[in-house]
Amino acid sequence: MTVIDMAGNINDLMNLYQQMKSDPRKFFNLPQDVDVTNPEGIIQYLLNTGRISQAQVNNAMNMRNSPLVQRLMGR
């Protein structure tokens, strides 16, 4: 199940985003040796452990660059 599948509406998606942002170690169930201040390190760990695919990373990056998401994130 993807984050989008878990989000029934935009409020759910924003709540998930806030949870991820406030406690990435808990949100992603990361071990202590993963530096949670380094987003690239988190992504690399998730890729290396097979918990996400490169296609998922690419899709997330494309979504991040969409004008709608930019407005929602206040950018």
pLDDT in tens, 1-17: 555 555 567 778 788 88
Between residues 72 and 42, which one has the greater pLDDT? 42
φ, ψ for residue 2 (rounded to 5)? Answer: -90, 165
Q: What is the pTM of this model?
A: 0.70
pLDDT in tens, 15-65: 888 999 899 999 999 999 999 999 999 999 999 999 999 999 999 888 888
